[in-house]
Structure 1
């Protein structure tokens, strides 16, 4: 018998129990209703008989001329005549009617004085009493018989119900005890076989002991185990070949590769990474990254970049100098998070990080050569450009002879272009100094208000042609900062010049300064109402020689200003960034550390 049939029979047994219960309730109600109606009628007849007997007692104590007892008797008799329910009771009622009529005739003769009526009629009242007792006796016997019949019927109904309940209960217990055991037993066997299959043991099949649903599942599962074993055998060689191929590719990379899982355990390390860390891959793979970091300084430095947010990794790519064969080699670290889709949870999950050390020694040498070339060319160009600028100034002043209007216009344009070249040469010199590390910083305690005041005064002449306004607001409680006043002023002027260049006419430029929430830095911001910067360009504008054309097609100068500004602010312990949205303007912000005395005062 299969499980479906057993469960169906179980439901049928439950329905049988419900049917038996319903039938029992119906039978008991019918028996109770029948008994109640019959007993009520008989009891009512007995009660009426008692009332008639009391009326007869009153009649027998008085002469026939007193009719006070006749009325109650007649009333009770009429009710009894309408409540005849037992065999023979109607004949008694009819005879009692005759006696009552005879009694009423005697009383009528006395009342109308017609004569011929006795003073008392004991034979009439005696016969009426006898008939009344017989009516009471008939109903009393009926009560006794009906009680016995009801008891007998109740006993029969009880035996029927008990039998049906016993059968239904036995069937239900049989099914209740057999179905769960059959289901749980099959599930235990299936679970044991699944656990063995999970442990790569495909030989533990399920014994087929029945022809029910579990027997069908067992046969299908056993076929699946056979197919899995065949598949595992056929694909094992392919998997090994693919693994060997991937291992060969990783081992032959000319870059150091480390793979760290979500539990910070090293799971892949190629030979190049082992040579750079001076640890063989066998001492890296399988170990916790924190354990390796405690015994290797370079590995510990690499781990610090795992916690850097992905957005900052692109703008702050670390460069490591590692000695190889007595020579210094340069390696650039890239960290990439690996995510995978978890089908069980229906979401993406972090599974690890890939650390790659790229050998950029050749690029470093080329970059150094480029920097040396730019530094040399910049220094060589600065002197003749300064001389040209001086000569153009002499021509404009007329000290070497008067010029006509057209000549003055040409000289003015030449001077403007020459000054642009001088500015570009100066930026190139600053870049070369930044790259060589020879930049000189004069860090001192400074008031932000003084820096802002000097920059605002310098920029006033550039505001007038386009009718721009500078809205500068600084709180009086602003603390002093540690900064190089000259270079910080240069940064602020560069940001204000960019805001003037891109602001629409007659629009305000907002200059704000405030203390950071942690109280350790002061943030300065320059906000314009220009076209804004697209998100994909907001980080690129701080790279060297990068220019982003605006909607009017304007391109800036050399593309070095913001790059140098970020280097100046970063060398002073601050940060420079932009917040912008297309069509909503841009806000350039930079921070400077609070001076020690001001920080303690806070």
Structure 2
């Protein structure tokens, strides 16, 4: 018998017991009701008639008064009703005697004899017979009441016995049926719990042929298939794992994997060699603990702690390491790893990958390129300066008269020569920055002095487009630690770019404020109302020799200004970035640390 049939039969039996108890109780109540009604109809009605007959006799008691014809008629009517309600043994004889005595009384009234004692004798006989009739019904009433009480007691016992049987039967079903339904689920739950711990040997014993037996057989087959699948795929997983481990271990780049709890869970031999740490001192340890013991890992952790938004805008750092008696250069890359959690239906952070890419060969090539640029720039600067001086002599007319057309040609040549001199100067600055030979003169500096000097220098360049310069600097700004010359050059470069791309009769805005970072810095911003910069170009403009498309057709720049400006600010411990939207202008900002 299956479990569904058992539960159905249990509920059906409980329903039948409920209907049986209800039907028997209703039958008992109806039987008691019929007994009570019979008592009321047969005996109590006769007693009430006897009482009314006695009151009628009381009115006929006195002979001296005129005969109460209405009382006599009432007595006869009541006696006739009683004759129609004879239900008890001996009651009929009493009624007949009443009719006989009533006939004698009528004969007495029809005669001329008026003796009071005879009248009282007739009234006494009628009263005595009426009392007998009432007594017969009263005794019957008492007897039937006792029988009804016995019947009620008997029926109550039967109902109580039947109710007890029904309650016990229901309790039996309540205790047995749920247990039968839940016991199998307990076994299934225990087997599933073992399966979650990769124990597929705890199968469910099949003891019945009901639904649970079917589920148990199916689950046991599932356990067998899971065991087979685990056995068959474990070798594949190990093979793939060994293949991936071989690939990671044979990388010529250092690779570290840090999980979401900042615990190191993987490090390839290249990373261990660079960190000069054995695997047992690195793996499964907290990254913060390792950073306290290893300088290189402390530097890697600093880049790991950099917010992802800043990592995307900053250039990847390059570390210089001593390796085999030579300098080696490694570029640090940090990539966050995310995974989609299907249970929670959301993407979760699961760790970070740190890689150390050997860029020593590229660095050597870059140094060779920088040396070449520096050499060429120095070689070009001298003849360009001589050409510039010669052009100045020609324009002044000291070597001969020059006509107007020749003056225009000389002006054009001088303008192009000045542009070459500027380009050569920027190339020299780039080479100095790359070689680290640039000298910075740090000193406590007021932002007001830098801004005022830049504003005074750029004032003449505002006039051709009729631009206005709006400067708003708070008085409470502290001094910064900066190179005044280099910082002023950066601000002038940003203002020159703002002038170049601002519409006529527009405005440039210079603002300064303390940053909310810890430690705080002073942030200087230059905002223009130009065409703006598309998002895909906002980071590229800080790369060397990069120029974004210009609708105005300007092609005078070398693409080095912003790159040099960022190097100047970064070397002073600050940052340089841009915020812009197409059609709303651009805001170039840089920050400088406070002086101590």
**Category of TM-score, reference length = shorter chain:** 0.7 to 0.9
Which residue number in structure 2 is paired with residue 346 of structure 1?
A: 345
Aligned to 1:387: 386
TM-aligned CA distance change 1:342 to 1:517, over 3 Å: closer
Question: What is the deviation of 1:46?
Answer: 6.7
**Paired position in structure 1 for 2:503:** 504
SS at match of 2:589: strand
Contact 2:532 2:580 in 1 (8 A): yes
Q: 1:275 to 1:483 in 2, by over 3 A?
A: closer
Whether 1:447 and 2:436 are equivalent positions in the alignment is no
Q: From the superposition, tell whether residues 426 and 3 of structure 1 become closer, same or farther in structure 2 (CA, over 3 Å).
A: same
Q: CA deviation at 1:362?
A: 0.3
1:264 is paired with a residue whose SS is coil
In structure 2, C-alpha distance between the alignment counterparts of 1:457 and 1:92, rounded to whole Å? 148
Q: 1:219 — aligned with what?
A: 217
User: CA–CA distance in 2 between the matches of 1:473 and 1:311?
Assistant: 29
Q: Distance between the aligned counterparts of 1:405 and 1:129, measured in 2?
A: 172
Q: CA deviation at 1:568?
A: 1.9
SS at match of 1:466: coil
CA contact (8 A) 2:569 2:576 kept: yes
Partner residue, 1:559: 559
Q: Deviations over 1:546-583 (max 9, x none)?
A: 22224556556122222222222222232222222233
Structure 1 residue 530 corresponds to structure 2 residue 530: yes
CA contact (8 A) 2:47 2:137 kept: no
Aligned to 1:568: 568
For the pair 1:427 / 2:417, whether they are aligned, the reply is no
Indicate conservation of the 8 Å contact 1:547/1:556, yes or no: no
**What corresponds to 1:436 in structure 2?**
435
Judge conservation of contact 1:322–1:328 (CA < 8 Å) in 2: yes
Structure 1 residues 237 and 91, CA gap change in structure 2 (3 angstroms): same
Report the alpha carbon displacement of residue 437 of structure 1 after superposing the two structures with TM. 1.9
Write the distance in 2 (CA, Å) between the matches of 1:439 and 1:211: 90
SS of structure 1 residue aligned to 2:303: coil
Of 550-559 and 254-263, the range deviating more from structure 2? 550-559
Comparing 491-500 with 361-370, which one deviates more in the overlay? Answer: 491-500
Q: Which residue of 1 aligns with 2:248?
A: 250
Q: How far has the Cα of 1:445 moved from its partner? A: 2.6
Partner SS, residue 583 of structure 1: coil
What's the offset of the Cα at 1:252?
1.6
Query: How far apart are residue 258 of structure 1 and its match?
Result: 1.9
Structure-1 residue corresponding to 2:494: 495
Which piece of structure 1 moves more, 45-54 or 359-368? 45-54
Q: Is the 8 A contact 1:396 1:408 kept in 2?
A: yes
Cα deviation, 1:464-514, whole Å, max 9, x if unaligned, reads 333332222222333333322222222222222222222333333222222
Do the aligned residues in 2 keep the contact of 1:531 with 1:550 (CA within 8 Å)?
no
Distance 1:59 1:587 in 2: 132
The Cα shift of 1:326 comes to 1.5
CA distance in 1, matches of 2:542, 2:342: 41
2:243 and 2:591 map into 1 onto residues whose CA distance is: 51
1:556/1:142 CA distance change after superposition, 3 Å: farther
Contact 2:36 2:148 in 1 (8 A): no
TM-score, normalised by the number of residues in structure 1:
0.80
Partner of 2:227: 229
* Aligned: 1:474 with 2:451: no
Report the 3-state secondary structure (helix = DSSP H, G, I; strand = E; otherwise coil) of the residue aligned with 1:304.
Answer: helix
* 1:107 matched residue in structure 2: none
Aligned to 2:161: 162
1:223 Cα deviation from its structure 2 partner: 2.0
Seen in structure 2, the aligned counterparts of structure 1 residues 266 and 477 have a Cα distance that, compared at 3 Å, is: closer
1:255 is displaced (CA, Å) by: 1.2
| Counterparts in 2 of 1:520 and 1:279: CA distance versus 1, 3 Å | closer
User: Within 2, Cα distance between the matches of 1:211 and 1:282?
Assistant: 57
- Flag the 1:483–1:151 CA change in 2: closer, same or farther, 3 A: farther
| Structure 1 counterpart SS, 2:547 | coil
Q: Residues 282-328 of structure 1, C-alpha deviation per residue, up to 9 Å, x if partnerless?
A: 55444444454454332333233322222222414232222222222
- Note the 1:136-535 alignment, pairs <5 A: 138=137, 141-142=140-141, 145=144, 148-149=147-148, 152=151, 155-156=154-155, 159-160=158-159, 162-163=161-162, 165-166=164-165, 168-281=166-279, 283-314=281-312, 315-401=314-400, 403-517=402-516, 520-535=520-535
* Paired residues of 2:532 and 2:583 also in contact (CA < 8 A): yes
- Contact 1:190–1:206 under 8 Å retained in 2: yes
TM-score (norm 2): 0.81
Is the 8 Å Cα contact of residues 482 and 593 (structure 1) preserved in structure 2? yes
Q: Distance in 2 between matches of 1:43 and 1:169?
A: 41
Residues 544 and 11 from structure 1, CA distance in 2 versus in 1: closer, same or farther, beyond 3 angstroms? farther
**Deviation of 1:358 (Å):** 0.8
Alpha-carbon distance in structure 1 between the residues aligned to 2:63 and 2:507: 131
Per the TM alignment, residue 586 of structure 1 is displaced from its structure 2 partner at its CA by: 1.9
In 2: Cα distance, 1:242 partner to 1:492 partner: 56
State the distance in 1 between where 2:23 and 2:270 align: 89
SS of the aligned residue for 1:513 comes to strand
Instruction: Work out whether residues 96 and 128 of structure 1, in 8 Å CA contact, stay in contact via their aligned partners in 2.
Output: no
Q: 2:109 maps to which residue?
A: none
**Which stretch has the larger CA shift, 201-210 or 283-292?**
283-292
Pick closer, same or farther for the CA change 1:218–1:376 going to 2, 3 Å: same
Q: Shift of the alpha carbon at 1:361?
A: 0.5
Q: Which is further off, 430-439 or 360-369?
A: 430-439
Q: CA deviation at 1:201?
A: 4.2
Question: Which ranges of structure 1 fall in alignment gaps of 5 or more residues?
Answer: 104-114, 597-602
Tell me: CA distance 1:477–1:265, structure 2 relative to 1, closer, same or farther (3 Å).
Answer: closer
Q: Classify the secondary structure of the residue corresponding to 1:530.
A: coil
Q: Note the 1:65-144 alignment, pairs <5 A.
A: 127=126, 131=130, 134=133, 138=137, 141-142=140-141
Other-structure match for 2:592: 592
Distance in structure 1 (CA, Å) of the matches to 2:400 and 2:544: 43
> Does the CA contact (< 8 Å) of 2:530 and 2:585 recur in 1?
yes
- Offset of residue 259 of structure 1: 2.1
Q: Using the alignment, how far apart are the partners of 1:125 and 1:450 within structure 2?
A: 147
Provide, for residues 218-237 of structure 1, a one-character-per-residue CA deviation record: whole Å limited to 9, x for no partner.
22222223323333333343
Stretches of structure 2 lacking an aligned partner (at least 5 in a row): 106-111
Q: Is the 8 A contact 2:28 2:155 kept in 1?
A: no
Q: For 1:420 and 1:45, locate their aligned partners in 2 and report how far apart those are by CA, in whole Å.
A: 143
Quick check: 146-155 or 412-421, which moved more?
A: 146-155
